[in-house]
Structure 1
Amino acid sequence: MTPDAVPLSGPEFQTEPARLYRRMRSEHGAVTPVLLDGGIPAWLVLGYRELHQVTGDPVLFSRDSDLWNQWENIPDDWPLLPMIGHKQPSILYTVGERHRERAAMISGALEGVDPAELRRHSERFADELIDAVCAEGEADLIGDYAMLLPVRVLARLYGVSDEEGPALVTALNDMIDGRERAIAGQAHLATAMAELLAARRERPADDVASRLLADNHGFTDQEIAEDLMVMMAAGHQPTADWIGNSLRLMLTDERFAASLFGGRNSVAEAMNEVLWEDTPTQNVAGRWATRDTRLGGRRIRAGDLLLLGLQGANSDPQVRTHGSALTGGNNAHFSFGHGEHRCPFPAQEIAEVIARTGIEVVLDRLPDIDLAVPADALTRRPSPWLRGLTELPVRFTATPALKGG
C-alpha cells in the first residue's frame, strides 16, 4: 500500500463527499489507496469503468472474504466486522454455483411478494406514521418517518411482528454504520431472525421467511437466517435514506416545487437523481483479488481488499454528460451494484415501491410542507458507507389524523 493512503473517515464524508471524491480522483486516480478503522489498508475504486471491471469479473475479484491478506491484523472488536465478515455463512460471501443457487432462492422468495399487498402495507404504515405527527404542525421526517417506514414494511413482508420493528431499527442502524454498538446490533438482529425461522418452521405463513424455508436448496437455517439479516439490513437503511434524500431534494430544489402541490411526475425524477448524485449507499466492501493484477494503473496484490466506490463511479466525469445528473430514466448508475452480486431485481422493486409510496404519502398528507430550518443547516451522518440526513425538520399546517387507519 502506498504511503499517501487516504483515511476513509473524517468530516468531508458528511459535508462535501463530492469534492472529496474529486480530489481523490485527481490526486490518486481511479483506484485510490485508503485506510480503514485501525489503519487497515484497502483500495477504493472510484472509476466507472474500473468498477464495472471489478464487479463484472468474480473470478479475478472475488466476494470470498477468506482471501483477505489482512485478517491477522483485525482485532475481534473491530467495528467493521459486521460489514466485512470473516467466514460468515451469508449470500454476501458465497461464490460460484452455490451463490447462484442462493441468489435464485432469495429472488424467488422476494418475487412472491404481492405488489398490491406491498403497496397497501407501505401506505398503511406511512399513514400511521404521519398520523402520529400531522396534528403537531411540525416533524422530523427522518427520525419520525423515514427511519421507521422501511423496516415496518419489510418486517411484515418477512414475517416479523410489528412490535419488533423499533428494536430492529436500532439494531440495524448500529450495525450498518459500523459504530461502537455494531456488534451488539448484529447480535440482536441475528437473534430476531433465528426466532422468526423457528416460529415459521412450526407455523408457515405467506411471507418471505416461510418461502425461504420451503425452497431452501439445501441451505441450513443458520444460512437462511444470515440471508434474512442481509436482506433486512440492505433493505432498511438505504431505503430510509432514499426517502430522506429525495424529500430533501424536493424541498430545496425549485425544479421539484410543483410536486409539493399535487404533481407526482417529479417524484420518480427526484428519486432517480438522488441515485446518481446523492446515493444512499456510497461505498461497499468489497471484493478481494484472487491473484496479483493491475487496475487503474495500480498494482493490486493477491488478497487485497477493493472497496466499491458507488458514488465516486456515478460521478466519474468520463461517463457524465456536461457534469450534470443523468436523469430522465437513465438507470446506468451503480447505486444497486453490478454483476452477479448486485442487489436482486425483486429487492430493488420492493425498495422503490416503499420509497416512492413513502414520499407520495408525505406530499398527500402534509399540506404546504416546508423546511423548518435553512437548507444549509441540514446535516448528514459522518459515514463513508451510507449517506443520509441526521434529521429533516419540516413545518406544515396541522391536520387531524386519519380515522379508521
Structure 2
Amino acid sequence: MTPTRTVRLADLTDLVHAPDTVGPRAREVHARLRAEWGPVAPGELSPGVRVWFAMGYAEFSEVIRNEEVFSRNGDNWSAVQEGKILPDMPIYPFVTTRQNSFHNDGELRRRLRSPVDRALSRVDEHGYAAQVRGICNDLVDDMLERGEADLVQDYAVLIPLLSVAAMFGMGQEVGDSMRKAAHKVLGGGQLAQEGVIELAVEIVDHIAKRRREPQDDLTSHLIDDPGLWDDNEVMEAMIVMIIAGNELTIATITQTLLLMLSDERFAGRLRGGRLDVDQAIEEVMWRDPPCYNITPRFALRDVELGGQLIRKGDAVVPCIAAANLDPVMTGDDPWLEIGNRAHMSWSAGPHACPAMRPGTIIVQAAVRTVLERLPEVTLAVPADRVERNTDSLSYRYPTSMPVRFVRTLT
C-alpha cells in the first residue's frame, strides 16, 4: 500500500488531542490512519527527518520489547550518523547518549536500571503516600480562602517534583528549582542544555550531602548500590527519574482532574459522594494518555514491521495513543476498558516506567485532595476551552484549569 501523503508527528499530536478526541472521535481518527497506512505509517519527525510511526498494539509491543532489534541508543539512528539531528531540535536531548538506563540497551542498561528498581522497591509506600498528601494539602490550604484557583499552575505543576524531591530526601526549595530545570530539558534546544546543567548542580550537591549524612531515602539507596559505579552514574539515574516522571505525572493529574470535573459520568458521581478516582485514571490512560508518543527506537537491522520494511538505522516512534485505541485491544465497547490495565501508557518491556507505583500514589493523592477538600469545585470555563501546551513532542496537557469552589476560612 502506498500512502497518499506523509504524516507528521504534529499531525498525530493535533488529532489525538483535539477537543472532542476522547471517545468516538479518537477511534474515528485512528481508524482512518490505519485504513490509509496500516499499523505502521511512514512520516516525518520534522522536515527532512523521516521516521516510522508504530500505531498498532502488536507492532508497538514488538518495538518496545525487542531491544535486540530496536535500540534505544540514538547512536544507531542514521539521521544522527548523518548529522541531521541538531542541538536546537526538541528530540536532541533524547537521542544524545548518556551513561544511564534511558539511553542504553542490553547489559549496560540492565546494570544501570537494576539499582533504580532496587531503590524504588525499598520505598515505604504508606509513609510516602502520607508525605505526598501533606504536599497536596499544603497547596490546597493556600487556595481555600480565595474561592477560585488554577489547578494547573497553582497545583498540578508543583506536585510531581516536590513529591520526587521528598523521595530523594530533598527540601521543597530544591524540588521547585528542579521542576523549572526539568521543564527546560523537555523544551529542547539551548534551554535543554541549561536545564541539564542546573539539574546536575542541584543533584551533585545533594549526593555529596548524602555521602556525609546517609538517610533512609532514595538518594542514599542509589549511592549504596554496587550497580552504580560512581557519583556520575548516581546523578544520571536521578536525572532520568526527575525528567521522565515530571511531565508524565503533571499530565496524568491534570487529565484526570479535567475528566472528573467535566464528564458527567464522573462529575455526577462526585456530586453524589462517590469518587471513582482510580477508574478515571485508567480511562485517561486508555483514551487520552499523558504521554502519546515515546522516545524513538532505532532498527539494528532490516526488519519487517506491520507490512512495512524498516531499514537498518531507521527510527520508529511508538505511538501510545494509537496503540491504546487499536480495535484489536478495545473493540467498539468502551465498557471493555474498565478494569483492563493492558494499556501501554506506562510503556512495557526493558524500558517500562520504573516508578509506576510511586507515580500512581502521587496522582491518586493529588486528585483526591482536590475533590475532597475544595467544596463544590467546578470548572470556571467550558472543558473544550481548556488550553493545552504545544511545546512537547510527547506530552500534551492543560496549561491552565481555572476552577471555582465555596470559600473556606482556614
Give the shorter-chain TM-score range: over 0.9
**1:106-154 CA distances to partner (integer Å, 9 max, x unpaired)?**
1111111111221111111001111111111011101111111111111
The 1:20/1:190 distance shift into structure 2, 3 A limit, reads: farther
Structure-to-structure mapping, 1:277-288, within 5 angstroms: 277-288=287-298
The 1:134/1:22 distance shift into structure 2, 3 A limit, reads: farther
Indicate the residue corresponding to 1:152 in structure 2: 162
**1:17-38 CA distances to partner (integer Å, 9 max, x unpaired)?**
6365444333222112221235
Indicate the residue corresponding to 1:78 in structure 2: 89
Indicate the residue corresponding to 2:368 in structure 1: 360
Indicate the residue corresponding to 1:97 in structure 2: 107
| Deviation larger for 132-141 or 2-11 | 2-11
Structure 1 counterpart of 2:139, from 107, 117, 129:
129
2:206 equivalent to 1:183: no
Indicate the residue corresponding to 2:66 in structure 1: 57
Q: Distance in 2 between matches of 1:242 and 1:145?
A: 13
Say which SS state the counterpart of residue 86 (structure 2) adopts. coil
Say which SS state the counterpart of residue 388 (structure 1) adopts. coil
Structure-to-structure mapping, 1:6-405, within 5 angstroms: 6-9=7-10, 11-12=14-15, 14-15=17-18, 18=26, 21-71=30-80, 72-85=83-96, 87-178=97-188, 181-261=191-271, 263-322=273-332, 324=334, 326-344=336-354, 347-382=355-390, 383-401=392-410
Unaligned runs of 5+ in 2: none
Q: Distance in 2 between matches of 1:257 and 1:13?
A: 23
Q: CA deviation at 1:370?
A: 0.5
Q: CA deviation at 1:220?
A: 2.5
The 1:356/1:119 distance shift into structure 2, 3 A limit, reads: same
**1:261-288 CA distances to partner (integer Å, 9 max, x unpaired)?**
4745511100100000011011011211
TM-score of the two chains, using structure 1 as the length reference: 0.92
Say which SS state the counterpart of residue 329 (structure 2) adopts. coil
**1:276-304 CA distances to partner (integer Å, 9 max, x unpaired)?**
00110110112111101111111111111
What root-mean-square deviation, in Å, do the aligned CA atoms of Structure 1 and Structure 2 show? Answer: 2.1
Q: Distance in 2 between matches of 1:311 and 1:262?
A: 31
Say which SS state the counterpart of residue 43 (structure 2) adopts. strand
Q: CA deviation at 1:178?
A: 3.5
Q: Distance in 1 between matches of 2:394 and 2:72?
A: 18
Q: Distance in 2 between matches of 1:49 and 1:177?
A: 30
Conserved? CA contact 1:276–1:325, under 8 Å: no
Q: Partner letter of residue 99 of structure 2? A: P
Q: Distance in 2 between matches of 1:182 and 1:92?
A: 16
**1:229-260 CA distances to partner (integer Å, 9 max, x unpaired)?**
11111222211111110111111111112442
Say which SS state the counterpart of residue 160 (structure 1) adopts. coil
Conserved? CA contact 1:273–1:326, under 8 Å: no
Q: CA deviation at 1:326?
A: 4.2
Conserved? CA contact 2:294–2:317, under 8 Å: yes
Conserved? CA contact 1:140–1:394, under 8 Å: yes
Q: Partner letter of residue 82 of structure 1? A: P
Conserved? CA contact 2:99–2:236, under 8 Å: yes
Say which SS state the counterpart of residue 283 (structure 1) adopts. coil
Conserved? CA contact 1:4–1:33, under 8 Å: no
Q: Partner letter of residue 342 of structure 1? A: A
Q: CA deviation at 1:398?
A: 0.7
Q: Distance in 2 between matches of 1:266 and 1:179?
A: 40
Q: Distance in 2 between matches of 1:26 and 1:137?
A: 49
| Deviation larger for 276-285 or 60-69 | 60-69
Say which SS state the counterpart of residue 297 (structure 2) adopts. strand
| Deviation larger for 52-61 or 291-300 | 52-61
Residue correspondences, number: 398
